[in-house]
């Protein structure tokens, strides 16, 4: 009877304690909710990737740890199995706490009178990684409680993914992706069985088992992991023996930074990190980047010492930046880290196609329209052509092909500087807000600085038949677009710039004909400080700049000889070449000619050979010309005042009357007074 009462009392006490414990657990569950940091994404260091996923540049996270994001599907199945086998073989069966492991650990600790096993599940270890604490019974209890909460919020796949993304793998390495890249130079998805087993064993004691310092310990731990996999039926004994015999094959941890810094694309990688501090996958094609860098370096070797070269390659259809070279020597302590593709430099004549396009778009000019190439004087501003001399009257196409300055200046003046600036900006070229005032007519000869990237993208606009699209550096980057020019105008400009108007032995031609088609324009800044060549072949737009970042000029910095050979070399490369030439463009409709055919300038009064009679000792002369344009009158070499130009009283003698208009055109008449 007494035993029965004792049994009932025990049951009652047990039930009461269980109820109290359950109530206390429920209270704690709601009183101490799971902190958001347990659910936040794994903190990672920024990494910039090429379009094929290879790293261009990577940095440690804010805690100085090498961490890289990776989804579970991007982790080798061998590593997933090895981790579960050695750390938590009933991971998919428990709900955060493994009761069997708890009883086993308790028995081992009691029999040996010391802590030899902690019974921590992967979920509990994840809690410890997220909130480190000293290894005490209280800490274990908190980890167990948090593990239950995590299991109620995340599924097993998410928990395993987070654990593998945070686990320590030696030194300052966190997560399997960083560990795989640093220790083996490959992605976590490509790990083989021996490599996966080695990594799976490191989190137990990453410092004591570091494979580059303690290879024997690491090898023994790998064998332990492999044996656990055999026990769980994950691998066969034969696979165990084969994997155990493989060398560790790890790299020294001291050169970890080199695993995340590609020798190519360093300027574009740092620029990408500047634009997006968290990094991301870029549009850079490493194979093409290698080609461009090699060609740029080889070309720079043919130029004067300390010459800098920058190149931009844009895929026309997508607007993707496929290759970018900021300079040919990133390690130059003076200015090697300057990104020439983003530097503001004078474009020389490289803007002229868009000024002609402005006139074409306004219906004022066409490729065959006559354009005067005569001296110009605007309040003391007397520009000239790159090569001395004047051609008189040429077609607009010829003026653009031969890059004549005076026709371009006249077109800019006639169309309007503001309209020209608007076309340039619409095509994708960034200009200052006061561009029209700052540049003036000299806009046509490169008075305003632009960036090579923007200039190259403007030529991509021509290739897209006038559609301007923002250049893209990241795959997930939006590329807004708008129509900047009409199809006909874009096709006309492209066709004009496609004509080979130079000698057959030019570097960009072969036997007088192009083996690959492209359209291009060169530019040379004042003082030969910048040499440019920019063009497109319908598929790619390429821009080349040659000069010195210091701004010092050199006689060899001429667009046609310093920059265009590299441009041609790139357009002729198989990775970039296009052989098909676009069809002939339609005629540009001209509504109101910009330069109507003018009457020939001549002195009408007095006409040449006239003999005037002096009445009362003087003859009255009223100078008159065939055109009523602004100009000046000279009599026997003397400039006449405004009053004299309307009425002269001349003594008997021989006189030469000269009329000079503002554009430099002149006419003369010799006459006598008797």
Indicate which CATH number applies to the domain containing 423: 3.40.710.10
**CB distance 653 to 673 below 8 Å:** yes
**Which of 102-106, 269-273, 511-515 is predicted most confidently?**
269-273
Q: Based on the fold, state whether residues 585 and 615 are members of the same structural domain.
A: no
Q: Is the pTM of this model over 0.85?
A: no
548: pLDDT strictly greater than 80: yes
Q: Please tell me the distance from the alpha carbon of residue 446 to that of residue 439, in angstroms, as a whole number.
A: 8
The more confidently predicted of residues 580 and 458 is 458
Higher pLDDT, 44 or 631: 631
* 40 in a structural domain: no
Domain edge (last residue) among 564, 597, 630: 597
pLDDT at residue number 505: 42
Mean predicted confidence (pLDDT) in 599-611 = 85
Question: 59 in a domain, yes or no?
Answer: no
Q: Are 354 and 468 in contact (CB under 8 A)?
A: no
pLDDT at position 332: 86
Shared domain for 308 and 333, answered yes or no, is: yes
Tell me the average pLDDT across 396-408: 91
Q: Report the range out of 32-36, 241-245, 659-663 with the highest average pLDDT.
A: 241-245
Q: How far apart are CA 542 and CA 155, in angstroms?
A: 50
Residue 110: what pLDDT? 46
**Pair (206, 119) in one structural domain:** yes
The string of pLDDT tens digits covering residues 334-387 is 888 899 999 999 999 999 999 999 999 999 999 999 998 888 877 777 877 878
Assigned domain for 267 exists: yes
Q: Are residues 346 and 282 in the same domain?
A: yes
Q: Cβ(621)–Cβ(606) under 8 Å?
A: yes
pLDDT band at 597 (very low <50, low <70, confident <90, very high): low
Number of domains comprising the chain: 4
Q: Any idea what the CATH number is for the domain that residue 618 is in?
A: 2.60.40.10
Do 586 and 539 reside in the same domain of the chain? yes
CATH code of the domain covering residue 142: 1.10.3810.10
DSSP string, 488-505: HHHHHHHHHHT---S-TT
**Is 318 an active-site residue?**
no
**Which domain covers residue 224, as residue numbers?**
65-257
Q: Does 57 reside within a domain? A: no
Residue 32 pLDDT: 55
pLDDT band at residue 605 using 50, 70 and 90 as cut-offs: confident
661 is catalytic: no
**Whether residue 160 is found in the same domain as residue 187:** yes
**629: in domain:** yes
Q: Please give the DSSP secondary-structure letter assigned to residue 41.
A: P
Q: Are 424 and 555 part of one and the same domain?
A: yes
Tell me which residue has tokens 């009409």.
Answer: 486
* SS3 annotation, 561-618: HHHHHHHHHHHCCCCCCCCCCCCCCCCCCCCCCCCCCCCCCCEEECCCCCEECCECCE
pLDDT value of residue 563: 96
Residue 504 pLDDT class (50, 70, 90 cuts): very low
Q: Mean pLDDT of all residues in the chain? A: 85
CA atoms within 13 A on the CB side of 348: 29
- Specify the pLDDT at position 438: 81
Q: Which of 153-157, 523-527, 627-631 has the least mean pLDDT?
A: 627-631
pLDDT in tens, 287-302: 999 999 999 999 999 9
pLDDT for 413 equals: 87
Give me the percent of the chain exceeding a pLDDT of 90: 45
For residue 470, pLDDT beyond 90: yes
| The pLDDT of residue 481 | 93
Question: Looking at the structure, do residues 195 and 293 belong to the same domain, yes or no?
Answer: no
Q: Does 71 reside within a domain?
A: yes
208/248 same-domain check: yes
Give yes or no: residues 484 and 626 share one domain: no
- Rounded to the nearest angstrom, the gap between the alpha carbon of residue 521 and the centroid of all alpha carbons in its chain is 22
The pLDDT, as a whole number, for residue 113 is 44
Greater model confidence, 628 or 393: 393
User: Which residue in the list 120, 327, 349, 426 is annotated as catalytic?
Assistant: 349
Q: Which of 74-83, 608-617, 660-669 has the lowest mean pLDDT?
A: 660-669
Same structural domain for residues 380 and 408? yes
The string of pLDDT tens digits covering residues 7-64 is: 565 555 555 555 554 455 456 555 556 666 666 666 678 889 999 888 898 888 887 8
Where is the domain boundary, 571, 597, 623?
A: 597
Does the pLDDT value for residue 398 go beyond 60? yes
Q: At what angle do helices 122-130 and 137-153 cross, to 10 degrees?
A: 110
109 and 235, same domain (yes or no): yes
Residue 179 has pLDDT above 80, yes or no: yes
Which is catalytic among the residues 87, 195, 320, 564? 87
- The answer to whether position 42 is within a domain reads no
Asked which of 548, 563, 597 is the last residue of a domain, the reply is: 597
Lowest-confidence region among 159-173, 470-484, 494-508: 494-508
Residue 11 lies in a domain: yes
Q: What is the pLDDT of residue 27?
A: 64
pLDDT at 598: 63
What local confidence, expressed as pLDDT, does residue 426 receive?
95
The mean pLDDT of 536-540, rounded to a whole number, is: 96
> What is the reported pLDDT for 103?
56
Range 625-641 average pLDDT:
85
């Amino acid at each position: 009877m007494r035993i029965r009462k004792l049994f009932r009392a025990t049951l009652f006490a047990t039930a009461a304690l269980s109820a109290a414990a359950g109530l206390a657990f429920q209270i704690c569950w709601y009183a101490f909710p799971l902190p958001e940091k347990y659910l936040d994404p794994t903190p990672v260091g920024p990494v910039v990737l090429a379009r094929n996923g290879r790293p261009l540049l990577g940095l440690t996270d804010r805690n100085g740890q090498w961490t890289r994001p990776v989804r579970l599907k991007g982790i080798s199945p061998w590593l997933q199995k090895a981790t579960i086998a050695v750390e938590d073989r009933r991971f998919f069966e428990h709900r955060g706490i493994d009761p069997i492991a708890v009883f086993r650990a308790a028995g081992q600790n009691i029999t040996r009178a010391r802590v030899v096993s902690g019974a921590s599940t992967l979920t509990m270890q994840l809690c410890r990684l997220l909130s480190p604490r000293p290894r005490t019974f209280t800490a274990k209890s908190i980890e167990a409680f948090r593990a239950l909460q995590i299991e109620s919020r995340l599924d097993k796949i998410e928990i395993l993914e987070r654990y593998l993304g945070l686990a320590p793998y030696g030194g300052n390495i966190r997560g399997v992706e960083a560990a795989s890249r640093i220790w083996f130079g490959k992605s976590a998805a490509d790990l083989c069985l021996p490599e996966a087993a080695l990594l799976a064993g490191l989190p137990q004691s990453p410092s004591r088992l570091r494979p580059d310092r303690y290879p024997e310990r690491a090898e023994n731990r790998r064998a332990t992991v492999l044996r656990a996999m055999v026990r769980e039926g994950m691998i066969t004994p034969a696979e165990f023996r084969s994997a155990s015999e493989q060398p560790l094959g790890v790299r020294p941890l001291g050169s970890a930074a080199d695993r995340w810094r590609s020798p190519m694309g360093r300027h574009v990688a740092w620029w990408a990190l500047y634009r997006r501090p968290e990094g991301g996958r870029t549009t850079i094609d490493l194979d093409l980047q290698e080609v461009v860098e090699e060609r740029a370096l080889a070309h720079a070797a043919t130029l004067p010492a300390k010459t800098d070269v920058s190149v931009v390659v844009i895929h026309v259809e997508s607007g993707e930046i496929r290759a970018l070279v900021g300079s040919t020597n990133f390690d130059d302590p003076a200015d090697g880290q300057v990104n020439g593709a983003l530097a503001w430099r004078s474009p020389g004549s490289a803007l002229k196609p868009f000024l002609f396009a402005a006139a074409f778009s306004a219906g004022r000019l066409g490729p065959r329209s006559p354009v005067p190439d005569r001296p110009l004087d605007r309040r003391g501003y007397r520009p000239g052509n790159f090569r001395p001399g004047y051609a008189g009257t040429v077609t607009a196409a010829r003026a653009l092909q031969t890059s004549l300055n005076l026709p371009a200046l006249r077109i800019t003046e006639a169309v309007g500087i503001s309209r020209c600036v608007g076309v340039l900006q619409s095509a994708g070229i960034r200009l200052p807000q006061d561009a029209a005032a700052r540049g003036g007519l000299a806009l046509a000869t490169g008075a305003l600085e632009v960036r090579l990237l923007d200039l190259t993208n403007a030529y991509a606009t021509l290739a897209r038949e006038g559609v301007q699209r923002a250049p893209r550096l990241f795959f997930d980057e939006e590329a807004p677009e708008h129509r900047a020019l009409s199809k006909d105008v874009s096709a006309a400009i492209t066709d004009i710039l496609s004509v080979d108007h130079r000698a057959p032995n030019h570097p960009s031609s072969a036997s007088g004909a192009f083996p690959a088609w492209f359209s291009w324009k060169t530019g040379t800044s004042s003082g030969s400080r910048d040499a440019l060549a920019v063009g497109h072949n319908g598929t790619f737009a390429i821009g080349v700049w040659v000069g010195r970042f210091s701004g010092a000029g050199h006689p060899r910095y001429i667009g046609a000889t310093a920059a265009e050979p590299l441009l041609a070399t790139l357009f002729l490369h198989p990775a970039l070449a296009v052989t098909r030439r676009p069809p002939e463009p339609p005629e540009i409709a001209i509504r109101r000619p910009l330069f109507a055919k003018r009457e020939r300038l001549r002195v009408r009064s007095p006409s040449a050979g006239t003999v005037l009679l002096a009445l009362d000792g003087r003859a009255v002369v009223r100078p008159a010309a065939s055109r009523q344009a602004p100009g000046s009158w000279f009599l026997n070499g003397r400039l006449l005042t405004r009053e004299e130009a309307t009425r002269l009283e001349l003594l008997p003698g021989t006189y030469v009357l000269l009329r000079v208009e503002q554009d430099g055109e002149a006419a003369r008449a010799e006459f006598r007074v008797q």
